[in-house]
Amino acid sequence: MTKRQNRMALVAMLVLGISLAGYFALKAFNDNLLYFFTPTDVVEGRAPIGKSFRMGGLVESDSVVRDGMKVSFTLTDTANSMQVDYVGILPDLFREGQGIVATGSLSQDVFVASEVLAKHDENYMPPEVADALEKAKQSK
């Protein structure tokens, strides 16, 4: 083996070793890397109930009830849903049908949130396109 091939093999082994180490590290920490749990996770007991955690999903249509600073709404991942109570300022993008992530804890089947963040989706469009899409959805 020439010196150059030797170095090539060393670099290749470095890349391989690091990828393997990275793969196993990510596999081990997989659960900790989830930013939020879905209502289904909560119902099926995969969420750390009893501690503070984050729950993400869509705000169900016609479920938002406002009373001053107090807001209560239903968070859904279409399979399961859960009531969320929150007191405070909501982000600009909060609206019905919008994805959000709430931080808080469960108390008697109600998720009491201390923070609500809006989650934006990957779509950007002018209002006309949004209207057209909405119409197409309704006519279906």
Partner 1 sequence: MWKWIQRQASPKVFYQTCTKLTPWFLLPFIVLGAIGLYWALVVSPADYQQGDGYRIIYIHVPSAIMSMTVYGVMAIAGGIGLIWQIKMAEVVAKVSAPIGAAFTIIALATGAIWGKPMWGTWWVWDARLTSELILLFLYLAYMSLNNAFDNPRTAAKASSILAIVGLVNLPIIHYSVKWWNTLHQGYTVGTGGLKDPDMGIALGIMFLVFVLLYAALVTIKAKTEVLTREQNSRWVKDLVTGERS
Chain residues binding partner 1 by CB under 8 A are: 4, 7-8, 11, 14-15, 18-19, 21-22, 26, 30, 33-38, 56, 89-94, 101, 115-131, 133
Which of 108, 124 has the CB closer to partner 1? 124
Rounded to a whole number, what is the largest CA-CA distance in the chain? 77
Which of 8, 65 has the CB closer to partner 1? 8
The distance of closest approach from Cβ of residue 76 to partner 1 in the complex, given in angstroms and rounded to an integer, is 15
Which of 48, 91 has the CB closer to partner 1? 91
Residue 82 CB neighbour total at 10 angstroms: 21
Phi then psi for 51, rounded to 5 degrees? -105, 170
Phi then psi for 7, rounded to 5 degrees? -65, -40
